[in-house]
Amino acid sequence: MGSVAVLVFPGSNCDHDAYHALKHVMGADARFVWHKEATLGDADAVIVPGGFSYGDYLRSGAIARFSPVMQDVVRFASAGGPVIGICNGFQILLEAGLLPGAMLANDRLKFRCKQVHLRTERTDTPFTSGIEEGRVLSIPIAHGEGNYTAPEEVLREIEENGQVVFRYCDALGNVKPEANPNGSLRNIAGIVNKERNVLGMMPHPERACEASLGSEDGRLIFSSLLNHLEVA
């Protein structure tokens, strides 16, 4: 089984959750990598966890993106290595230019902390290959700036390339405005890059890996990733 690096920035607060989910629930070889490290070591996959790196100063993820380890994450991703950015990690990947678009403050300015439903739009990624297309996942969100935006031509491009992996939906899988917790364009909750090896998502799969937490749907994403590493 591959080894998974969980990055730690000053202000990360979901690093231990991600480590716990991967190591203790999924049984993967997970380890922390401090943001000052120059390299990821022999990692086979990278998790950029949630939190408030650098206090979200300037813009969410804007400063973390220049941490030494992020240079190696860019190299790793460019070489095809799988990377998942969750919540603030998604924001960092956007700022780093590994994913297209940007995040605005949620519409109505509420910090939204709740269980949401996500429709799985694409199964042709290393992160969703073990999920049936259209399956509705129950996973929590917790963010103030998850309002995904991108210029119209970028939106068109990511839709045409099938890069939208998760959309906010209702319990039955209907993507509609009422199911959108933050104002994200086209209910976008998660996207991949064109090469499909970098995933960014606002919801927290690491908080939905055990029945005692109300949902185990997050495991489907990590098990897809770990299966992918095994085959690769």
Partner 1 sequence: MYKVRIHITLKPSILDPKGKASHGALQNLGYTQIKNVRIGKLVELEVEADDEKAAIDAAEQAAQKLLANEVMENYRIEHIEEAG
CB 189 within 8 A of CB 173: no
Q: Which of 117, 143, 206, 209 is catalytic?
A: 206
Sheet with 112-120: strands ordered across: 29-34, 3-8, 45-48, 83-86, 198-201, 188-192, 164-169, 112-120, 136-143
CB of 69 to partner 1, least distance (A): 17
Q: Which of 35, 117, 143, 204 is catalytic?
A: 204
Instruction: Check if 230 is active-site.
Output: no
Please, which residue, 120 or 182, has the CB nearer to partner 1? 182
Contacting positions for partner 1 (CB under 8 A): 58-59, 62-63, 66, 94-95, 100-102, 104-109, 147, 149-151, 183
Three state DSSP letters for 55-81: HHCCCCCCCHHHCHHHHHHHHHHHCCC
CB of 144 to partner 1, least distance (A): 10
CB of 102 to partner 1, least distance (A): 4
**Cβ atoms within 10 Å of 78's Cβ, excluding its own:** 13
Please, which residue, 106 or 163, has the CB nearer to partner 1? 106
Return d(Cα 204, Cα 84) in angstroms, integer: 11
Please, which residue, 94 or 192, has the CB nearer to partner 1? 94
Instruction: Check if 209 is active-site.
Output: no
CB of 96 to partner 1, least distance (A): 11
Return d(Cα 210, Cα 229) in angstroms, integer: 22
Return d(Cα 197, Cα 193) in angstroms, integer: 7
Biggest CA–CA distance in the chain, Å, is: 45
Instruction: Check if 87 is active-site.
Output: yes
Q: Which of 87, 117, 121, 209 is catalytic?
A: 87
Please, which residue, 181 or 205, has the CB nearer to partner 1? 181
Q: Which positions are catalytic?
A: 87, 204, 206
